[in-house]
A and B are shown apart, each in its own frame.
Chain A
């Protein structure tokens, strides 16, 4: 990606708060026009990274470039970025239209241009008829869209979004995810999105940087991160996975032979394990159960200990025969067959590509 035009470029950036290393020597670049997500648990440094992009925080080491320009000594109000805040931060004493116009008025744009661009921005988020309302007269979803319009109206090089959907309820959140993606495609602006919700990041992003303890653990497309997690943390943070302690047999290469009780199988090597022990990640939905398990690379018998019905899927908690390891299996619910009864013995199985081996932490 070295010669692709990038809108945001971090080079060896670190940030400390007192003695706490919030961001630890990270480097990445966000390609122009892409939807880029910083994903991680709270305290992982993702918001600090975003705030260093916007200019609210200054890096203690390293450089931040936006659209090729070094942002060293460029204050927040002079940067070609605009932010959608977590709780939207709409000015409560201004109407929707005044909120959206604020950034353009500060730039002393001609009145006619302001009027036109505000109308366009409100049109984009479908709020033109709410122009004269005050923020307190709006719902959460509407405030969120005003915040988006207020930031986009300035035509930033990069739009920064700090968990903007966090305060919305689930249904609205799903709807806004698709809406955000549509708007991003429509305006073509680079979006830099911070979230702790892996589903949100998956749905919208072109690329995701998974952060943990101030470092980027993996930066890739959503599918690559899901299918080939680079670390034990990424595997457990993204999607639902079984983390199984195993013994490593022989020297691991790109794949490794591992032993779990009496069961021996191959797993792709994520991080090389040390000392003959490791952890295998095996996603819930990659394990087959019942007749479906027959043709899989690895097969074993298991006892169904619990059945959880969750609508589109059925979760089975099973105990492997010959070891006390419990696995969770997710089987799609097609509405025809009855779920397997609790207490019955079943076959389970999975293919070699479904597993990844990591070193123990």
Chain B
């Protein structure tokens, strides 16, 4: 390594050779391919975002919009405990959903990985993937039926486990979390599963060979090495959960007020400034999520 420093000096004494440039058409190719995406992004994402940003500085008074430049809506959003509760509930819903997805998803991914029969594995994968195939409205009503006070889950709890009263499972946070976990599960399972399949199988054999049983092998080798998959999957659940609208609307029964619902309410009141600030808050939360998960991912990688 030490004599590497001598090489640039030797190279410098020779006439400088500039690296050959790729032909123009080839250099333009990637940009050409990206152009449609850029166009769509500019039209459908950046432009509305700028419009929303403008709205957020307007004023809403007595049911009327006033073009202005004021931070009043921001101040209101940041100081009013009503909005604090909404942000808190949003984060709580997203966090619990993510934890549940990971808690259910990791063992599921592990099982999928350990199934050695390819046919069985295919069916298993399809079952995990199935929530995505069902429309969000249908799925939500399905859960309403299942989790209702007279539904099969409560029947089981009361008749088999002899609970004295039905447990409230819908029209509150519990129902929303159950349904969201159900739909985000595949997004959590597949990143974890893919890190597992990329894991060198001889590492587990090496651990066992060195005297580790199943649990020690899992705890000290498999889990730390699949943690990046888990940390990649978690924000995939957290970010859409934070922005979920239909599920909290249908399964929350009006008791779960999260940011997307607040934004929707504001738009129906034509309170555009408040809707804009709520939307920007959602965006900021998403950015924080991405930043935090990237940081965690970097620590977890070997």
A residues in contact (CB < 8 Å) with B: 54, 56, 75-78, 81-83, 85-87, 89-93, 102-103, 106-107, 134, 136, 150-151, 154
Residue numbers in B under 8 Å from A150 (CB-CB):
210
Residue numbers in B under 8 Å from A91 (CB-CB):
203, 206-207, 221, 225
**B269 at interface, CB cutoff 8 A:** no
Instruction: Report Cα–Cα, A103/B212, bound state, in Å.
Output: 7
- In B91-107, which residues have CB < 8 Å from any A CB? none
Residue numbers in A under 8 Å from B225 (CB-CB):
91-93
Nearest A residue to B209, CB-CB: A83
Nearest B residue to A107, CB-CB: B211
Q: Is the CB of A77 within 8 A of B202?
A: no
- Minimum Cβ distance to chain B for residue A145 (Å): 15
Residue numbers in B under 8 Å from A136 (CB-CB):
302
Instruction: Report Cα–Cα, A26/B225, bound state, in Å.
Output: 39
Nearest B residue to A150, CB-CB: B210
Instruction: Report Cα–Cα, A86/B203, bound state, in Å.
Output: 11
8 tightest A-B contacts by CB? Answer: A103-B210, A89-B206, A89-B202, A106-B211, A92-B302, A93-B302, A106-B212, A83-B209
Nearest A residue to B301, CB-CB: A93
Instruction: Report Cα–Cα, A54/B209, bound state, in Å.
Output: 7
- Minimum Cβ distance to chain A for residue B271 (Å): 51
Contact of A154 among B205, B208, B211, B213 (CB under 8 A): B211
- Minimum Cβ distance to chain A for residue B301 (Å): 9
Residue numbers in A under 8 Å from B206 (CB-CB):
83, 85, 89-91
Residue numbers in B under 8 Å from A154 (CB-CB):
210-211
Residue numbers in B under 8 Å from A54 (CB-CB):
209
Of B210, B213, B225, B302, chain A has the most CB atoms within 10 Å of the CB of B210
Contact of B200 among A75, A83, A87, A102 (CB under 8 A): A87
**B224 at interface, CB cutoff 8 A:** yes
**B265 at interface, CB cutoff 8 A:** no
**B294 at interface, CB cutoff 8 A:** no
Residue numbers in A under 8 Å from B211 (CB-CB):
77-78, 103, 106-107, 154
**B122 at interface, CB cutoff 8 A:** no
14 other A-B residue contacts (CB within 8 Å) besides A76-B208, A87-B200, A87-B202: A56-B209, A75-B208, A76-B205, A77-B209, A82-B210, A83-B209, A89-B205, A91-B225, A102-B207, A102-B210, A103-B211, A107-B211, A151-B209, A154-B210
Residue numbers in A under 8 Å from B207 (CB-CB):
91, 102
Interface string of B207-228 (1 = CB under 8 A from A): 1111111001000110011000
Nearest A residue to B214, CB-CB: A77
26 sampled A-B residue pairs with Cβ under 8 A: A54-B209, A56-B208, A76-B208, A77-B209, A77-B211, A77-B212, A82-B210, A85-B202, A87-B200, A89-B202, A89-B206, A90-B206, A91-B221, A92-B302, A93-B225, A93-B302, A102-B207, A102-B210, A102-B212, A106-B212, A107-B211, A136-B302, A151-B209, A151-B210, A154-B210, A154-B211
Instruction: Report Cα–Cα, A185/B207, bound state, in Å.
Output: 26
Chain B contact surface mostly:
helix
Instruction: Report Cα–Cα, A150/B210, bound state, in Å.
Output: 8
Chain B residue total in the interface (Cβ 8 A): 18
Residue numbers in B under 8 Å from A85 (CB-CB):
202, 205-206
- Minimum Cβ distance to chain B for residue A77 (Å): 5
Nearest B residue to A153, CB-CB: B210
Instruction: Report Cα–Cα, A180/B210, bound state, in Å.
Output: 20
- Minimum Cβ distance to chain A for residue B237 (Å): 24
Residue numbers in A under 8 Å from B209 (CB-CB):
54, 56, 76-77, 81-83, 151
- Minimum Cβ distance to chain A for residue B202 (Å): 4
Nearest A residue to B200, CB-CB: A89
Contact of B208 among A77, A134, A151 (CB under 8 A): A77
Contact of B224 among A77, A89, A93, A134 (CB under 8 A): A93
- In B211-254, which residues have CB < 8 Å from any A CB? 211-213, 216, 220-221, 224-225
Residue numbers in A under 8 Å from B205 (CB-CB):
56, 76, 83, 85, 89
Instruction: Report Cα–Cα, A286/B104, bound state, in Å.
Output: 69
Residue numbers in B under 8 Å from A102 (CB-CB):
207, 210, 212, 220
Nearest A residue to B204, CB-CB: A89
Instruction: Report Cα–Cα, A132/B287, bound state, in Å.
Output: 36
Nearest B residue to A98, CB-CB: B220
Nearest B residue to A162, CB-CB: B202
- Minimum Cβ distance to chain B for residue A258 (Å): 49
Instruction: Report Cα–Cα, A85/B200, bound state, in Å.
Output: 12
- Minimum Cβ distance to chain A for residue B128 (Å): 27
Instruction: Report Cα–Cα, A136/B207, bound state, in Å.
Output: 18
Residue numbers in B under 8 Å from A89 (CB-CB):
200, 202-203, 205-206
Instruction: Report Cα–Cα, A20/B211, bound state, in Å.
Output: 30
- In B4-32, which residues have CB < 8 Å from any A CB? none
- Minimum Cβ distance to chain A for residue B206 (Å): 4
Residue numbers in B under 8 Å from A75 (CB-CB):
208
Residue numbers in B under 8 Å from A83 (CB-CB):
205-206, 209
